[in-house]
Amino acid sequence: MIPRRTFMALTGAATLTACGAAPSLPGRSSPDTPDDLRPVRNSGFDAWVTAFRPRAQAAGITPRTLDAAFRGAGFIPGVVTRDRSQPESSYSLEDYLQIAASDDRVAKGRAAFARQRGTLSALERRYGVPAEILCAVWGLESQYGEKRGTVPVISATATLAYDGRRGAFFEKQLIAALRILQSGDVTPANMVGSWAGAMGHTQFIPTSYLAYAVDFTGDGRRDIWSDDPTDALASTAAYLAKSGWTPGLKWGGETGAPGTPSGRVIAPQPGGPTFTVTSNFDAIKRYNNSDLYAIGIGHLSDRLAGAGPLRGSFPPDRYGMTLRDRIALQKRLTAAGYDTGGTSGVIGPKSRAAIRAYQQANGLAVTGDPSMDLLARV
């Protein structure tokens, strides 16, 4: 099963409708930020911030930094909604790779690699991490910089610390974010990221930033937020190098494929391709502790280097449908006027909503589940 953060980052499926609560506070969110991800006034949150300040000062955060950081900050309703929501379904490796290594992502990645070839090559020489691996992380985490996040990090981490479900973890992230501001690496206005506080081109959480971020450009700031991805890519290289990356060793590959090294064999999806992986696979998992994520990074990096799709095939899903069947169903529903959100063959929330709408309009049992019978009927 794919971790929710990983799949939502790939699909953009975390976007929810605006809640229309209190008026937004001025001056921090991008115009592109959904309304429910903008800071709003909340008396409980304000009281929590007042109580938090002495704890932050005890951790070395100055009053001046706190004043600057919380000027315009506030409670973000949509952050809590997303943190508490659960995925509607589990997703298989086949689903994951359909998105992580889609033709579009591969094409964009090859273009991005060409633009940043000099930087990526310099980082490979410095840290020993292949340029294609770094580019693949960039591609999965932010679509090569296109989706870095627009949510103010102080407000997001403070909201999650106040909410309390993972309060201790997010208070730690909030204090780390305040340390970053205090160091002068970024201003409060420019410290934006995902709804959960992951930042920049390669989506570092604040504690990871403090541990691994580097100033590769030499301008005195570890800037992972700007349009220039150099420091973000360098920070990712440093992270992987310190996580045990062995230079010259492949991450692994599809078992039996040419050039795949020796290692242990894993089978992430019963009946599907198996993979032979090395210690560098485990280094990737230090970035995101998921076999599917690490395979996604490895396979996308291979595709960026010119390799083709996997040779092995996947079995029908639990509904008895193959990838081709699911794509055909999405195309037919789309042609009939039901928006499936794309025709990748991944049956996500929008496809299920389209199936439910079709079932309801045609007097069928409303389940939202795909089936061969439904394919034949549509």
pLDDT by residue for the chain (378 residues), tens only, comes to 444 344 444 544 332 222 223 343 444 456 678 889 999 999 999 999 999 999 999 999 999 999 999 999 999 999 999 998 865 557 899 999 999 999 999 999 999 999 999 999 999 999 999 999 999 999 999 999 999 999 999 999 999 999 988 999 999 999 999 999 999 999 999 999 999 999 999 999 999 999 999 999 999 999 999 999 999 999 999 999 999 999 999 999 999 998 889 999 999 999 999 999 999 999 999 999 999 999 999 999 999 999 999 999 999 999 999 999 999 999 999 999 999 999 999 999 999 999 999 999 999 999 999 999 999 999
CATH code matching the domain that covers 93-146+242-304, chosen among 1.10.530.10, 3.40.190.10, 2.30.30.40, 3.30.1360.230: 1.10.530.10
Q: Which fold has domain 17-84+149-198?
A: Helicase, Ruva Protein; domain 3 (1.10.8)
Please say whether the dihedral angle defined by the alpha carbons of residues 106, 99, 12 and 166, taken in this order, is positive or negative.
negative
* Full 3-state SS string of 290-305: CHHHHHHHHHHHHHHC
Alpha-carbon distance 195 to 49, whole Å? Answer: 19
Output DSSP code: residue 203: T
* Contact yes or no for 28/72 (Cβ under 8 A): yes
* Contact yes or no for 233/202 (Cβ under 8 A): yes
Helices (H) and strands (E) in the chain, counts: 17, 5
Output DSSP code: residue 268: S
Sequence ranges of the domains in the chain: 17-84+149-198, 93-146+242-304, 323-377
Alpha-carbon distance 157 to 48, whole Å? Answer: 13
- Report H helices in 12-148: 43-58, 63-70, 77-84, 93-100, 103-115, 117-127, 131-142
Confidence (pLDDT) at 91: 84
